[in-house]
């Protein structure tokens, strides 16, 4: 390897090294525009595979919570507004994608039993996007494959690469490939999500009950929420350690008139 090449490689990694909103160092090799395009393409594919719910009340409810949660959060490079879809499916699943896409399965509405708990779910997913976790995951998965055309793979015919890429984005369950976010990313999404929901005027204390409900699901719960997540004890301790800060955000939001009133029926 020549010296120049080593220097070029070092420079590339230097530029690719970013810091997450909570200060964790991360490797982000792909431009945000590419992640946005991938998110949009992946969302279209989930819509082809999973039927949309035509329950008007459920759609309005999820939209109401998601709108309140994302009010101050930029959807992406091209989108001004987050697109929200409710999918008709029993599993307690939810996801958010770069490019401003949010998906909630109807099964989630049984686990997240109040607007505050649903806000905790949506905020957790949006936090994964804000903290560029998909970019980080794609970077570590595909860093070794030079010239790997992410979007090309995603728009092509079904293939193992395509399924792997959907898994990287967090929607692999639809194609049978499960790739949960790692533990550091999950903890970060929990804490950042707590701030986001509180800042939107949802009661952050209810996140504790949500994760209790989720844990009670046991094996029935989707991997995004259980498998690599910090242990139940660790998660509760971490959330409680940040609760005083979240309560300040919550109280300030309420003083500013942010009092979401989304009704599930």
By annotation, the residues acting in catalysis are: 125
Q: How far apart are CA 76 and CA 235, in angstroms?
A: 29
Determine, following the binding rule CB under 5 A, whether residue 131 of this chain makes contact with Zn ion.
Answer: no
Determine, following the binding rule CB under 5 A, whether residue 96 of this chain makes contact with Zn ion.
Answer: no
Query: From the CB of 31, what's the least distance to Zn ion, in Å?
Result: 24
Position of minimal CB gap to Zn ion = 189
Q: How far apart are CA 189 and CA 28, in angstroms?
A: 17
8 Å CB contact between 150 and 138: yes
Q: How far apart are CA 233 and CA 241, in angstroms?
A: 12
Per-residue x/- track, 12-31, Zn ion (CB under 5 A): --------------------
Of the pair 203, 224, the CB lying nearest Zn ion is at 224
Q: How far apart are CA 136 and CA 106, in angstroms?
A: 29
Query: From the CB of 88, what's the least distance to Zn ion, in Å?
Result: 22
Strand 17-19 relative to strand 25-27: parallel, antiparallel, unpaired?
antiparallel
Determine, following the binding rule CB under 5 A, whether residue 221 of this chain makes contact with Zn ion.
Answer: no
Of the pair 186, 206, the CB lying nearest Zn ion is at 186
Determine, following the binding rule CB under 5 A, whether residue 86 of this chain makes contact with Zn ion.
Answer: no
Determine, following the binding rule CB under 5 A, whether residue 123 of this chain makes contact with Zn ion.
Answer: no
Of the pair 63, 128, the CB lying nearest Zn ion is at 128
168: Cα separation from own chain's centroid: 12
Query: From the CB of 204, what's the least distance to Zn ion, in Å?
Result: 17
CB neighbours of 3 closer than 8 A, spacing ≥ 6? none
Of the pair 186, 195, the CB lying nearest Zn ion is at 186
Applying CB under 5 A, which part among 76-84, 149-157, 178-186, 195-203 lies near Zn ion? 178-186
3-state secondary structure of 106: coil
Determine, following the binding rule CB under 5 A, whether residue 102 of this chain makes contact with Zn ion.
Answer: no
Q: Would you list the DSSP string of 153-204? A: HHHSSS-HHHHHHHHHHT-GGGGT---PPPHHHHHHHHHHHHHHHHHTT--T
Residue from 186, 174, 176, 175 nearest 224 by CA: 186
Determine, following the binding rule CB under 5 A, whether residue 262 of this chain makes contact with Zn ion.
Answer: no
- Residue 83 has φ and ψ, to the nearest 5°, of -95, 135
Query: From the CB of 159, what's the least distance to Zn ion, in Å?
Result: 26
Of the pair 161, 223, the CB lying nearest Zn ion is at 223
β-bridge mates for residue 87, sequence order: 52, 105
Query: From the CB of 170, what's the least distance to Zn ion, in Å?
Result: 8
Among 38, 112, 171, 189, binds Zn ion (CB under 5 A): 189
Applying CB under 5 A, which part among 63-71, 72-80, 150-158, 180-188 lies near Zn ion? 180-188
Provide the binding-site residues for Zn ion, judged by CB under 5 A. 186, 189
């Amino acid at each position: 390897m020549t010296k120049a090449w080593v220097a070029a490689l070092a420079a590339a990694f230097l530029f690719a090294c970013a810091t997450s909103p909570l200060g964790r160092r991360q490797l982000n090799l792909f431009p945000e525009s590419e992640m946005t395009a991938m998110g949009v393409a992946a969302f279209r594919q989930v819509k082809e595979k999973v039927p949309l719910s035509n329950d008007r009340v459920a759609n309005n409810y999820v939209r109401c919570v998601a709108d309140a949660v994302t009010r101050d959060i930029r959807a992406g490079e091209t989108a001004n507004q987050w697109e929200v879809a409710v999918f008709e499916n029993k599993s307690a699943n939810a996801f958010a994608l770069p490019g401003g896409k949010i998906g909630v399965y109807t099964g989630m509405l049984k686990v997240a039993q109040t607007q505050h708990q649903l806000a905790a779910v949506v905020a957790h997913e949006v936090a994964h996007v804000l903290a560029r976790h998909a970019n980080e995951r794609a970077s570590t998965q595909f860093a070794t494959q030079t010239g790997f055309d992410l979007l090309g793979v995603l728009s092509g015919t079904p293939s193992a690469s395509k399924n792997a890429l959907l898994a990287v984005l967090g929607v692999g369950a639809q194609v049978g490939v499960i790739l949960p976010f790692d533990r550091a990313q999950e903890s970060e999404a929990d804490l950042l999500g707590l701030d986001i929901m509180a800042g939107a005027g949802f009661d952050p204390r209810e996140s504790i009950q949500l994760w209790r409900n989720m844990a009670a699901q046991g094996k029935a719960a989707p991997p995004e929420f259980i498998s690599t997540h910090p242990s139940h004890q660790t998660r509760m301790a971490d959330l409680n350690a940040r609760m005083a800060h979240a309560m300040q955000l919550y109280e300030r939001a309420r003083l500013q008139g942010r009092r979401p009133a989304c009704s599930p029926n």
